[in-house]
Structures are given as structure tokens and as C-alpha cells.
Amino acid sequence: IDWLLSKLEEQLERSRKKRDEVLKEINMLEQFISDASDKLDRLSVARGACPLCGRPLDDEHRVELIKRLSREKKEAEKRLEARRDTLRRIEQEISEL
């Protein structure tokens, strides 16, 4: 029975470690998405110049930046959704050990 208990402990340890990694990634994704939203707001109202560095920013370039950032944000949101599913699954596993 000792052997079985130590096996369960190892599994629990692995699951907790995995959970911490997924939590870290979730935090980073949320941070990225929130930052991207803020930049998109700023870019959408900018006219002629970058509101941060003041350099010229014509509409064509500005729209290019908005498209790229929106795409990256969508990809991050998909990834975030997947990681949250993974987190739920791991939490479930931990609760069943």
C-alpha cells in the first residue's frame, strides 16, 4: 500500500506542477489580450501620428497594425480558451486523486 500511496503522490505532484504551468500561461495570455485591446483602442482613434511616439502614422499603416494586432488577439483568445479547458481537466484530475 505504501507503494500505491507514493505513486498517487507522484501523480498529484505532476498534476499540480502542470496546473501551475497552465495558470502561468493563462495569466500571460490575459495580460497580452488586455494589452492588445488597449493598443487597438489607441490605434483606432489615432489620426496622422502615433499617440505614443509621435511619429507619422498614415491610415494605411495604421489599419495594417490594427489588422495584425486583431489577428494576434484572436489567436491568443483561442489559446486562452483551450488553456482554460485544460485547467478544468487538470483540476478535475486532482480532485479525483
From the list 3-11, 43-51, 61-69, 77-85, the region that binds Zn ion by CB under 5 A is 43-51
What cell does 4 get?
Answer: 500505491
What cell does 20 get?
Answer: 501551475
Query: Any contact of residue 53 with a copy of itself (CB under 8 A)?
Result: yes
Burial class from Cβ neighbours inside 10 Å (0-12, 13-18, 19+) for residue 22 reads buried
Of these, 28, 51, 67, 97, which contacts a copy of itself (CB under 8 A)? 51
Of these, 18, 19, 33, 39, which contacts a copy of itself (CB under 8 A)? 39
Query: Any contact of residue 50 with Zn ion (CB under 5 A)?
Result: yes
As a residue count, the chain comes to 97
Of these, 12, 49, 52, 97, which contacts Zn ion (CB under 5 A)? 52
User: 56 pairs with which residues across the strands?
Assistant: 49
d(CA 53, CA 30): 25
- Coil/strand/helix, residue 53: coil
Q: How many residues bind a copy of itself (CB under 8 A)?
A: 14
Binding site for a copy of itself (CB under 8 A): 38-39, 42-43, 50-55, 57, 61-62, 65
